[in-house]
């Protein structure tokens, strides 16, 4: 993305007082925040034409997209996980591909492969790369835990480096690149749970819950008639890239960064001497139920998502509340519980609740 600079050699620019340039800069920042808030409102409005309820899920999907992260949707069948992803992609005017993960899916079915084709004029044969569905802006990996680890790993390089290696050639993916993967938690037979290293690549793990009775009535009413609704495109790929830059430019105070760091450190049950100032060993549920805590990616995700949440709410600064509000979707898939946790019917959300109570915002 190109950047424009002012002509500092101009006589007028050299005479402009700093007191006048600073308000101008602040005004530009406020305009950018307003633009992002308006985009969110329009996106919600368009998605709401198709999806009933689930506003929290839609907001987290948008946060992940603005932060250049990836999202794992976790929920029982029939809750609209696939429809939500497809609808969001329609409102963003992005190239969309869906892959139904199955036990017989091969890595080349995702990344693409080299094929031999005959040259024009009968001049022999040549290798030609045929791109797979991963060459898109918005990839829906449906039931990602139903395919073997070899195929799941085909997503790793694309999610982390935004590139794909096939043979001796590496191909770059066009930005933006966003992966939404879905999982069904009630069927474990014939599935391949994602390895911890791959789960850690997802910025959020979002639990899609059942709708309320009123929402379910609205769903039934809206889907059993003749009326159909199609969302309109709100943002282009270029607009989205610009908004991603706005999110990353949001300032964060050292106190908020330290709070995020302490929260992540508190998930780790075993601390070295260098971690003497951490609070992980002070949280009883962590010592009792957690085998491995969150990686540094969790802290990065907390702060970056906090920036996006702040500007979506009209603020150009990150607060402690932004970090706390995002702790569950950021941390729940990064905590590895031991046998005692499973035996006592404790899940990662219970541990995170205890962490939020134990870790103080300000230690001064």
- pLDDT exceeds 60 at position 277: no
Is the model's pLDDT at 279 over the cut of 80?
no
Q: Which residue has the tokens 């962590």?
A: 286
Range 339-344 average pLDDT: 85
Determine the average pLDDT of the residues in 6-33: 49
Q: Give the per-residue pLDDT at 271.
A: 54
pLDDT digits 0-9 by tens, 64-122: 999 999 999 988 887 778 888 888 888 888 889 999 998 889 988 999 888 888 777 66
In the structure encoding, which two tokens stand for residue 270, read together? Answer: 């075993």
Cβ neighbours of residue 67 closer than 8 Å, sequence gap 6 or more: 203, 244, 247, 301, 304, 305, 307, 308
Mean predicted lDDT score pLDDT of the chain: 81
pLDDT (0 to 100) of residue 8: 35
- Indicate if the pLDDT at residue 278 is higher than 50: no
CB 117 within 8 A of CB 71: no
Residues 6 or more apart whose Cβ sits within 8 Å of residue 66:
36, 240, 243, 244, 247, 308, 312
Task: For residue 256, give every residue at least 6 positions away whose Cβ sits within 8 Å of its Cβ, in sequence order, or none.
Answer: 303, 306, 318, 319, 320, 322, 323
Per cent of the chain over pLDDT 90 is 25
Q: Give the pLDDT of residue 21.
A: 41
pLDDT grade, residue 40 (50/70/90)? confident
What percent of the chain has a predicted confidence (pLDDT) above 70?
A: 85
Q: What is the pTM of this model?
A: 0.82
Q: Is pLDDT at 276 greater than 50 in this prediction?
A: no
The least confident of 235-244, 267-276, 323-332, 347-356 is 267-276
Q: How far is CA 158 from CA 3, 8, 18, 164, 165, in A?
A: 27, 41, 44, 6, 9
Cβ pair 210, 59 in contact under 8 A: no
Cα 93 to Cα 91: distance, rounded to the nearest angstrom: 6
Residue showing tokens 């920042």? 29
List the structure tokens of 199.
């789960």
pLDDT of residue 282: 65
Residue 344: Cβ within 10 Å count: 12
Angle (nearest 5°) at CA 294 between 136 and 320: 90
Distance between CA 312 and CA 173 in Å, rounded? 27
> Residue 17 pLDDT > 50, yes or no?
no
**Phi/psi of residue 310, each to 5°?**
-65, -50
């Amino acid at each position: 993305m190109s950047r424009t600079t002012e002509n500092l050699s101009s006589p007028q620019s050299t005479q402009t007082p700093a007191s006048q340039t600073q308000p101008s800069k602040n005004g530009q920042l406020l305009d950018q925040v307003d633009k992002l808030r308006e985009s969110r409102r329009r996106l919600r409005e368009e998605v709401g034409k198709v999806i009933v309820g689930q506003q929290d899920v839609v907001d987290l999907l948008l946060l992940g997209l603005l932060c250049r992260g990836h999202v794992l949707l976790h929920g029982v069948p029939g809750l609209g996980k696939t429809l939500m992803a497809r609808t969001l992609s329609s409102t963003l005017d992005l190239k969309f591909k869906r892959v139904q993960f199955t036990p017989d899916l091969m890595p080349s079915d995702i990344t693409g492969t080299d094929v031999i084709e005959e040259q024009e004029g009968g001049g022999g044969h040549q290798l030609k790369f045929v791109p797979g569905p991963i060459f898109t802006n918005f990839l829906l990996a449906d039931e990602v835990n139903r395919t073997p680890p070899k195929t799941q790993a085909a997503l790793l390089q694309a999610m982390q480096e935004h590139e794909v290696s096939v043979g001796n050639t590496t191909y770059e993916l066009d930005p933006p690149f966003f992966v939404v993967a879905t999982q069904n938690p009630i069927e474990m037979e014939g599935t391949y749970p994602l390895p911890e290293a791959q789960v850690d690549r997802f910025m959020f793990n979002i639990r899609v819950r059942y709708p309320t009775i009123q929402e379910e009535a609205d769903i039934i009413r809206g889907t059993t008639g003749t009326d159909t609704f199609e969302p309109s495109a709100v943002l282009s790929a270029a607009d989205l890239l610009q908004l991603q830059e706005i999110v990353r430019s949001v300032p964060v105070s050292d106190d908020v960064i330290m709070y995020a760091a302490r929260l992540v450190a508190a998930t780790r049950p075993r601390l070295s001497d260098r971690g003497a100032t951490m609070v992980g060993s002070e949280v009883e549920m962590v010592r009792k139920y957690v085998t491995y805590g969150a990686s540094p990616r969790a802290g990065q995700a907390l702060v970056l998502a906090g920036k996006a949440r702040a500007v979506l709410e009209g603020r150009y600064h990150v607060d402690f509340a932004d970090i706390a509000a995002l702790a569950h979707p950021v941390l729940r898939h990064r905590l590895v519980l031991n046998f005692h946790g499973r035996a006592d019917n404790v899940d990662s959300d219970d541990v995170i609740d205890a962490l939020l109570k134990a870790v103080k915002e300000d230690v001064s």
